[in-house]
Amino acid sequence: MENILSGLLDQGYIASQQIATAIFIAENLTKPILVEGSAGVGKTELALASAAWLGLPLIRMQCYEGLDESKALYEWKYGKQLLYTQILKDKMGDVLGDAPGLDQAMEKLHGFGDMFFSEQFLEPRPLLKALRQKHGAVLLIDEIDKSDEEFEAFLLEILSAYQVTIPEIGTISSTVPPLVFLTSNNMREMGDALKRRCLHLYIPLPDAKLEEQIVAARVPNIEENLRKKLVAFVQMLREQDLKKLPSISETLDWARVLLLLHADDLTPALVHDTLNVLLKFEQDIAAVRPQIAEITRKAQQFGDHGYRIT
Amino acid sequence: MQRPLENFLRALRAADIRISPAESIDAHQTVELVGYGDRQFFKDALCVALAKTPDEVAAYDDVFEMFFQRDEFDTESSPEDGESSQPPESAAGDEAFAEQMESVPLAEMILDADGNELSAQMEQSANRVGATEIKFFTQRGYFTRRILDDMGLRDLERLIASLRRSGEGDGDDDNDGDATDLANRLEQGRRYLLDETRAYVERQYELYARANGENLREEFLMETRMSNLEHRDFDRMHKIVRRMAKKLATRYARQRRHTKRGQLDIRRTMRKNMPHDGIPFEVFWKQTKIERPKIHVICDVSKSVAAAARFLLLFLYSLHEVIAQLEAYAFSDSLIPVGDILNNNDVEQAIPEIMNAIGFRSTDYGQALLDYESGFMDDLDRNTTIIILGDGRSNFTDPRIDIMRRMHDRSKAVIWLNPEPETFWGTGDSEMPRYRPFCHVAKTCSTVMHLERVIDDILKSYARA
């Protein structure tokens, strides 16, 4: 447990207790983790950090509508197959030359086996690649909710048995099962079968303390006082009734922007100018704009007296 | 430790968390892995393995806290109340009754003030009498009694009584005071034990049976006529209706494609077969997209349907939450679009707001239809279904059948849901018989169950088309 926490910390990822627990269980029970949470809370980042920490290659598959198995799993290298048949045409004569009849020639051909449907002609796509890594890998299946329901069903074999079946070759199973992360933005409800095979980790928006640690780790150059204030500001913003609440990635962006502007204090004018970094909808900005002065003032106080928000 | 975990899983199931055998295997493996040492770790680990949605995580937290809550028998406060009256000599007194005490282990435990022992004892007894099988609210007293009996309460009571008797005995004997004193302490302990057991059983009920009761109540509400529903059930109703609407929406939200057989999609086929040197191994047929349902709901909120209107609106609200292409209108003597109100408010505010804006007036179907035609008929196309929720009682005004006919001709379907039973249609000022020919479906719809079935049918017809 401690290992996981400090390991992720070394990669600049501040994990909560729950996250560390989930990874611990996933490693020991060899089960995939389904990570849910709103956009920008660090779902994908978690997979990246874990891969870096474990020293394993990260294999990433971005899901989208219409993704099918030839893009996710494997494809035959048709071009290579064609090329080879062309090149080998001449050789055919030599090989079959001494066969007296068609039957014998056929017999001889069978002897060479399924040359063109062997692993040399297999183009591994992310899933197959992950299974064939010798020392294991971290497989990130990003935004699984964007894919079709058929694709979700197709994933089940890989997620539960860590193997795939290719009709021409047979079943390929992994030597070291990869650590699998699936991320979802809740675009649609995932099927029960998929959920059953996964551990479920929900990453909420962080509280002030955690968020401040994250900002400190990710934007180390920012001054402590300003950091406290901006975190307090974002925390208060999350209590507003907004269409899209700012998440950690927005906080980090904002911190970087403030750093870039050489700001040393949070003033209403500054917030006014940079609010579009935090809020991504016109209505949200319009709703917050009149309150900027008020929230900034409160954030100033929190900056001075610690970050407890009641 | 198998048994507590099984009980815990059962409690989780009662709290509406789906736990299949596979999950329970996971749970056991997890527990084996993490052990019972660290409470937070244990909780997080099981949470990751069992709860699969944010809602379930919240429910899990509640159940976990309740289930693993052991309020230790608070040995400080109760039997020891008379601490001052327990000078060293009373130990001697105790000895005098040691023989009697020996036969009643419960009394010993109380006097030892051994909280852990007591609570462990209570749980064992509870397991023996099967307290976790509790089903109904009324069984609580029964189980409390059974547990106490199993722990040997009878003996304790007998002991107290006999102590009292000897205490009241001869008078100035030193032992007498001790006996009364002892009896008092035991009595206190007994009362305390009673309270604790009651609280324990109460908790078991909360954990295992409450959901049962809720379900029963919900089933009952589903079958109740909407006009008979009471105000206090409103919240519960909202939950039911929302769940139902969500179920319907997820089932039909996907855009469906439908393979037309016999018509080759040449572009796709050529593209897909390029790797095969252009020889069409794989063949693709043309597909048509099936449009998602577009629905206009027109809801009567006038005086005559006042009782049912709240629930019709409730349904409208939930439907609006889950179906994207839904236009909502409400009317009594004139008609207004209510989509914005539904969009911008919570259900508690939206419904009264609509009622304030347009509700409780006398009905005029003719005027409402006219308003609809002049204002919103342009949105109506042949992919749109119109649902009318209302009783068709128009106060003898002109029903404007002509508009109804035009609506019928322009839309995919007109569905009329009437809270009155069919035998009442056409009596008094009801215009149902005249509207009916222009409805594709006209049905009585007085309970939530009806409503669900009808909406399901509508959406299904899209899926098939």
* A183 and A299 inside one domain: no
pLDDT at position B196 is: 81
Q: What tokens were used for B297?
A: 């709901």
State the total domains in chain A: 3
> What span, in angstroms and rounded, lies between the C-alpha atoms of A27 and A8?
15
Say whether residue A243 is in contact with chain B using an 8 A CB cutoff: no
> What span, in angstroms and rounded, lies between the C-alpha atoms of A98 and A94?
8
Selected residue with higher pLDDT from B257 and A260:
A260
Q: Is the dihedral of CA B166, B167, B171, B175 positive or negative?
A: positive
Diameter over CA atoms, chain A: 97
Residue whose structure tokens are 């099984």? B6
A163-166 and A170-173 beta bridge pairing? antiparallel
- Cβ of B30 within 8 Å of Cβ of A36? The answer is no
Q: Is residue A252 situated within a structural domain?
A: yes
For residues A225 and A240, the answer to whether their CB atoms sit within 8 Å is no
> What span, in angstroms and rounded, lies between the C-alpha atoms of B401 and B34?
72
Q: What mean pLDDT value characterizes chain A?
A: 83
CATH assignment of B294-464? Answer: 3.40.50.410
pLDDT in tens, A44-74: 888 889 999 888 999 998 888 778 777 888 8
Which residues 124-163 in chain A show a CB within 8 A of chain B? 149
CATH of the domain at A186: 3.40.50.300
> What span, in angstroms and rounded, lies between the C-alpha atoms of B146 and B201?
11
* A44 and A152 inside one domain: yes
Residues B291-325 as b or e (16 or more Cβ within 10 Å = b):
ebbbbbbbbbbbebbeebbbbbbbbbbbbbebbee
**Residue ending a domain, choose from A179, A202, A225:** A202
Say whether residue B18 is in contact with chain A using an 8 A CB cutoff: yes
Looking at beta carbons, which residues of chain A come within 8 Å of B54?
A: 36, 202
* A65 and A80 inside one domain: no
Helix (H) or strand (E) holding A126: helix A126-132
- Cβ of B33 within 8 Å of Cβ of A78? The answer is no
* A167 and A233 inside one domain: no
Which residues, including other chains, have CB under 8 Å from residue B15's CB and lie 6 or more apart? B59, B60, B62, B63, B211
- Cβ of B47 within 8 Å of Cβ of A18? The answer is yes
Say whether residue B55 is in contact with chain A using an 8 A CB cutoff: no
* A21 and A129 inside one domain: yes
* A53 and A181 inside one domain: yes
pLDDT at position B170 is: 53
pLDDT at position B77 is: 41
Nearest to B189 by CA among B249, B242, B121: B121
Interface mutation vs chain B, best among A189, A199, A243, most B CBs within 10 Å:
A199
Q: What residue of B is the nearest CA neighbor of A81? A: B275
pLDDT at position A143 is: 87
Q: What angle do CA A204, A208, A210 make, to 5 degrees?
A: 70
For residues B404 and B373, the answer to whether their CB atoms sit within 8 Å is no
pLDDT at position A113 is: 60
Q: What residue of A is the nearest CA neighbor of B26? A: A29
**Residue ending a domain, choose from A140, A172, A202:** A202
**Residue ending a domain, choose from A202, A218, A252:** A202
Q: What residue of A is the nearest CA neighbor of B22? A: A196
* A33 and A102 inside one domain: no
Say whether residue B45 is in contact with chain A using an 8 A CB cutoff: yes
Out of A25, A195, A196, the one facing B48 most closely (by C-beta) is A25
Q: Is residue A310 situated within a structural domain?
A: no
Out of A21, A149, A188, the one facing B48 most closely (by C-beta) is A21
pLDDT at position A72 is: 84
For residues B331 and B373, the answer to whether their CB atoms sit within 8 Å is no
The number of C-alpha atoms within 13 Å of A133 and in the hemisphere containing its C-beta is 20
Region A103-109: mean pLDDT is 78
* A14 and A159 inside one domain: yes
pLDDT in tens, A144-168: 888 877 788 888 888 888 888 888 7
pLDDT at position A28 is: 87
pLDDT in tens, B56-103: 888 888 888 888 776 555 444 444 333 333 333 444 445 555 556 666
* Ranges in chain B, pLDDT < 70: 1-2, 70-104, 113-115, 167-177, 210-214, 222, 225-232, 248-262, 288-293, 322-324, 458-465
pLDDT at position B52 is: 82
pLDDT at position B85 is: 37
B413-418 and B441-444 beta bridge pairing? parallel
**pLDDT tops 70 at residue A291:** yes
Q: Is residue A309 situated within a structural domain?
A: no
List the domain range (segments joined by +) for residue A102: 75-120
Q: Is residue A308 situated within a structural domain?
A: no
Number of Cβ atoms within 10 Å of the Cβ of A264: 11
Ranges of each domain in chain B = 2-67, 79-221, 257-290, 294-464
The shortest C-alpha distance from B43 to chain A (Å) reads 9
- Cβ of B275 within 8 Å of Cβ of A192? The answer is no
Q: Is residue A57 situated within a structural domain?
A: yes
Which residues, including other chains, have CB under 8 Å from residue A51's CB and lie 6 or more apart? A57, A58, A137, A138, A140
Say whether residue A305 is in contact with chain B using an 8 A CB cutoff: no
Q: Label each residue of chain B as H, E or C.
A: CHHHHHHHHHHHHHCCCCCCHHHHHHHHHHHHHHCCCCHHHHHHHHHHHHCCCHHHHHHHHHHHHHHCCCCCCCCCCCHHHHHHHCCCHHHHHHHHCHHHHHCCHHHHHHHHCCHHHHHHHHHHHHHHHCHHHCCCHHHHHHHHHHHHHHHCHHHHHHHHHHHHHHHCCCCCCHHHHHHHHHHHHHHHHHHHHHHHHHHHHHHHHHHHHHHHHHHHHHHHHHHCCHHHCCHHHHHHHHHHHHHHHHHHHHHHCCCEEEEEEEEECHHHHHHHCHHHCCCCCCCCEEEEEECCCEEEEEEECCHHHHHHHHHHHHHHHHHHHHCCCEEEEEECCCEEECHHHHHHCCHHHHHHHHHHHHCCCCCCHHHHHHHHHHHHHHHCCCCEEEEEECCCECCCCCCCHHHHHHHHHHCCEEEEEECCCHHHCCCCCECHHHHHHHCCEEEECCCHHHHHHHHHHHHHHHHHC
Region A201-213: mean pLDDT is 85
**Percent of residues, chain A, with pLDDT higher than 90:** 3
Q: What residue of A is the nearest CA neighbor of B344? A: A241
The shortest C-alpha distance from B303 to chain A (Å) reads 35
Q: What angle do CA B442, B448, B451 make, to 5 degrees?
A: 30
